[in-house]
Amino acid sequence: MNSPAPNRQSLNNEQYFIRNIRQTDLDEIYSIEKRAYKKGWSYGIFQQSLTSNRGFILIRRDTDNIIGYGISQVIVDEFHILNICIHPDYQHQGLGKGLLYFLLDKAREFSCKDVFLEVRASNLIAIQLYLDAGFNEVGVRKNYYPSEKGREDACQMCLSLF
């Protein structure tokens, strides 16, 4: 049985704001991706995401530095979270959770019924974040992610909003 959808939650911190990704943000976003993941998205995937996906960045107000991003896509009545990443220097401060809940609010704005995502099977911290937000594990994608040792499975997760 699905858990109830989480309530609206913001970052509750006036140091940060969220805006849409722009072309001029790509170099900084790609730099964060390379620092956060050994085998992450390519620069080309980020370029493609500007035209076919909805991307948002988390910015620190006092420096204007990008410290995280979330990229999603709406397909009919489904909301797909494709990438959430927080700069390693800012992790474990609740910013990833804030960005996740921001994306869930966007899913509701688009009247999406379900939210889907994949997460590395080894990323236990992210899996716990998603479980705490009400996601359920619905499957496994074998050998989905590239890794240092070849390929790694992805845990498929879903949250029903209605």
Taking residue 140's Cβ as centre, other Cβ atoms within 10 Å add up to: 12
Active site positions, annotated: 118, 130
Give per-residue pLDDT as tens, 73-129: 999 999 999 999 999 999 998 899 999 999 999 999 999 999 999 999 999 999 999
Enter the tokens of residue 38: 């050994």
Cα within 13 Å of Cα(80), Cβ side: 10
Provide CB contacts within 8 A for 85, sequence distance 6+.
32, 33, 36, 37, 40, 68, 69, 70
| Percent of residues, the chain, with pLDDT higher than 70 | 91
Whose tokens are 């964060």? That residue is 32
The dotted CATH code for 16-160 is 3.40.630.30
Is residue 9's pLDDT more than 60?
A: no
Comparing 85 with 8, the larger pLDDT belongs to 85
b/e per residue 74-92 (b: at least 16 CB within 10 A): beeeebbbbbbbbbeebee
